[in-house]
Amino acid sequence: MNPGADSGGEGNFGMAWLLLCLAFCAHVADEALTGFLNIYNPTVLAVRAQYSWFPMPTFEFRDWLTGLIIANIVLLLLTPFAFRNVRWLRPLAYFHAIVHLLNGTGHTLATIFGQTVSTVHFARPAPGFYSSPLLFAGSIYLLVRLRARRRSESRAAAS
């Protein structure tokens, strides 16, 4: 295996990780500035009224924003490990990418339909929609880089 590949060559997912983290930061700002919780909380309550087992919490703005800022800081602090291609970060990287791909999809679908559930309607676009393309791009880029790393490891093992 090429030693340079670990720090910045083919298969390195550090830049993809960083870009998705920055997209997530932009998304949190987008949601905070466009009233996301005004849609999210009523949606959760409506779903809970239908399905009592539904596990999603409701949030007050300050707690929600504080939690997301902490999550963003933790994810950004993991960036050096992504640049080193540490193995233990790969499952979290896949999870991170898939969650944000679904998150961007949810905001896009909510914008298309103008509602989250039948009782929660809003003017379009949905809160968080403007940053959804960043989540899509960052997620896909991270997934591509993770797959490239897997292929380069497979080729190195076969050699």
Per-residue confidence (pLDDT) for residue 31, from 0 to 100? 97
Task: Give the pLDDT confidence of 110-143 residue by residue, as tens digits.
Answer: 999 999 999 999 988 999 999 999 999 999 999 9
The whole-model pTM stands at 0.87
> Number of structural domains, the chain?
1
Per-residue confidence (pLDDT) for residue 63, from 0 to 100? 98
Which residues are registered as beta bridge partners of 121? Answer: 115
Name the residue range of residue 9's domain: 3-158
Task: Give the pLDDT confidence of 43-97 residue by residue, as tens digits.
Answer: 999 999 999 999 999 999 999 999 999 999 999 999 999 999 999 999 999 999 9
Per-residue confidence (pLDDT) for residue 12, from 0 to 100? 82
Which residues are registered as beta bridge partners of 120? Answer: 117
Q: Give the CA-trace dihedral at 120, 125, 130, 132, to 10 degrees.
A: 50
* Residue 113 tokens, joined: 């339909």
Look-up of token digits 């996301």: 36
